[in-house]
Amino acid sequence: MLYIGVDLGTSAVKLLLMDETGDIKNIVSKEYPLFFPHPGWSEQNPEDWFEKSMEGIKELTEGFDRSKVAGISFGGQMHGLVALDKDDQVIRPAILWNDGRTGEETDYLNNVIGKDKLSQYTANIAFAGFTAPKILWMKKHEPENFAKIVKIMLPKDYLAYKLSGSFCTDVSDASGMLLMDVKNRCWSKEMMDICGITEEMLPKLYESYEVVGTLKEDVAGALGLSADVKVIAGAGDNAAAAVGTGTVGDGMCNISLGTSGTIFISSEKFGVDENNALHSFAHADGNYHLMGCMLSAASCNKWWMEDILKTKEFAKEQEGITKLGENNVFYLPYLMGERSPHNNPDARAMFIGMSMDTTREDMTQAVLEGVAFGLRDSLEVARSLGIQIERTKICGGGAKSPLWKKIIANVMNLKVDVIESEEGPALGGAMLAAVGCGEYPDVKTIAEKIVKVVDTVEPEEELVRKYEEKYQKFRKIYPTVKCLY
């Protein structure tokens, strides 16, 4: 049988076709626009996601026996607010995960409602990108739109709704809304009351591998697929990427170098760090995970290369970088503000330490190192909880760079396992579809069967020592310049 994984990203939807053995048959990507109507705002039109996904699924399955497609599932950009009216029309463009407009609402939740209460209700505190602050922003600034809301959903769940008619979400993605009681895997009545919404406005909760419905007749006809194709709940992009890299079970780690950057630690037990610097979310395997998320990771390198250096020759720009651990230029990777561990939507990126002999290569190296240092900030929080991590998987566009993987291994002092497929959320989505269709009994089994490590980047003692010294300098920069934002 064949399974489709849909990775609904920020810049494009990536679709992957996989057979029951995990063999990837085809991959298609379709871009759509991203809008920044005001500084710090970030929006997209949900209709674009559906249109490009439909185009992509048709192209993905062309030349294959479409009668063999058994299931579709998702990995999706998290936290986005999609609001529908009584006629199922999108009320306003979706407010995305990297949107920083909700500073006041986030402060209200953390400081008036209180972090202790939020953590008690949801296992997390408020971050500007989360969905609940966006609902409060809409209530205050667009009351006429707020009054029209009948359904609230996350980006990938809009696709599931359009494909199947099922008003659903999964526990991993819902964990990032600040509306769910993560420990008990149910909606929080207290948070609904705070936001002025009802449970009827929220989708039904499923585990990531559960079937939510089948393709609607008209959708199946348009795609040339059977109306019996199952639609499986799917997961937030980081949880789906973790499935795609085999980061399931207890004490496994995955680093994702996508538009955003994450360090993801899977756990069989529920846990929260005392300062809520890491997100405590449900995992797609039925358990839990801790996650540190930085808003700009590979997007820092894309910005530096394309917007500043005016080149798309990413690999070529890295060729001249040879003096690892010796760079005197530092880069703070906060282009869109920052989540973990600083929780500051007003933070901004900066270079520091340039001199007359600073080179183009030094600046490029500083960008790569700044992202690695930023991820290490979250790793240090996990270590403070007594979590001992010795190795990590890696995925995302940035993981295609051998140099960046080497920097990550030595900054973190971790063995970095490179897997055969770096398709992350799209592969994870297809794997969840296979579990939902009964091809495998559970997520752990399919991960053990399909995910293969093909290389390991080992940290080098001397480089680890040099980067330790550099990291200790890096971690002093943000507290020093914070007053300037």
By percentage, how much of the chain surpasses pLDDT 90? 89
pLDDT bracket for residue 17 (50, 70, 90): very high
CA–CA separation, 348 and 303 (whole Å): 14
Dihedral class, residue 132 (left if φ above 0, else alpha if ψ from -120 to 50, else beta): alpha
Residue 60 pLDDT exceeds 80: yes
37 burial level (CB within 10 Å; 0-12, 13-18, 19+): exposed
Specify the pLDDT at position 422: 76
Q: In the predicted model, what is the mean pLDDT of the chain?
A: 96
Q: pTM for this structure? A: 0.90
Burial class (CB in 10 A: 0-12, 13-18, 19+), 455: exposed
The pLDDT assigned to 343 comes to 83
Label residue 360 exposed, middle or buried (CB < 10 Å: 0-12, 13-18, 19+). exposed
Q: What is the pLDDT of residue 275?
A: 81
Residues marked as catalytic: 237
Task: Decide if 2-238 and 249-423+452-485 have a common fold.
Answer: yes
In this structure, of 128-137, 220-229, 258-267, the range with the lowest mean pLDDT score is: 258-267
Reported as a pLDDT band with limits 50, 70 and 90, residue 339 is confident
Q: Could you give the C-alpha distances from 357 to 62, 304, 305, in angstroms and in order?
A: 54, 19, 20
Closest Cα partner for 178 from 218, 230, 135, 124? 124
Q: CB-hemisphere CA count at 13 Å for 215?
A: 21
How confident is the model at residue 421, as a pLDDT?
84
Mean pLDDT, residues 305-317: 96
Residue 125, CA distances (Å) to 22, 65, 440 in order: 38, 47, 36
pLDDT of residue 39: 87
Identify whether the C-beta of residue 156 lies closer than 8 Å to the C-beta of residue 6: yes
3-state secondary structure of 416: strand
Average pLDDT of 170-177? 98
Average pLDDT over residues 110-135: 96
Helices (H), 182-297: 189-195, 217-223, 237-244
Is 192 annotated in a binding site? The answer is no
Q: For residue 424, which of 157, 242, 295 has the smallest C-alpha distance?
A: 242
Mind giving me the DSSP string for 71-97?
EEEEEE--S-BEEE-TTS-B-SPEEPT
Q: Which two tokens stand for residue 27?
A: 């991959």
- Judged against a pLDDT cut of 80, whether residue 455 lies above it is answered with yes
Q: How far is Cα 436 from Cα 416, in angstroms, rounded to an integer? A: 30
Q: What percent of the chain has pLDDT over 70?
A: 100
Q: Is the peptide bond before 459 cis (omega within 30 degrees of 0)?
A: no
Q: Rounded to whole angstroms, how far apart are CA atoms 452 and 445?
A: 13
Task: Kindly state the tokens that stand for 120.
Answer: 């008690």
Radius of gyration of the CA atoms of the chain, in A: 21
Average pLDDT over residues 66-74: 98
User: 100: Cβ–Cβ under 8 A, 6 or more apart, which residues?
Assistant: 40, 41, 42, 128, 129, 336, 337, 345, 346
CATH of range 2-238; options 3.40.50.300, 3.50.50.60, 3.30.420.40, 3.20.20.140: 3.30.420.40
- If pLDDT is split at 50, 70 and 90, which confidence band does 271 have? confident
pLDDT for 398-433, tens place per residue? 999 999 999 999 999 999 999 998 788 999 999 999
The predicted structure's pLDDT at residue 22: 95
Q: What is the pLDDT of residue 18?
A: 98
If residue 288 lies in a helix (H) or strand (E), which one and from where to where? strand 288-294
Q: Could you tell me how far CA 284 lies from the centroid of its own chain?
A: 13
* Phi, psi at 131, each rounded to 5°: -75, -40
The answer for 178, left when phi > 0, alpha when psi is -120 to 50, beta otherwise, is left
Instruction: Give the contacts of 35 (CB within 8 A, at least 6 positions apart).
Output: 42, 43, 44, 45, 93
**d(C-alpha 169, C-alpha 346), whole Å:** 30
Residue spans per domain, the chain: 2-238, 249-423+452-485
Kindly tell me the number of DSSP H helices and DSSP E strands found in the chain.
17, 24
pLDDT average, residue stretch 122-147: 96
Judge: domain 249-423+452-485, CATH 3.40.1390.30. Answer: no
Per-residue confidence (pLDDT) for residue 372, from 0 to 100: 98
Question: Is 363 known to sit in a ligand binding site?
Answer: no
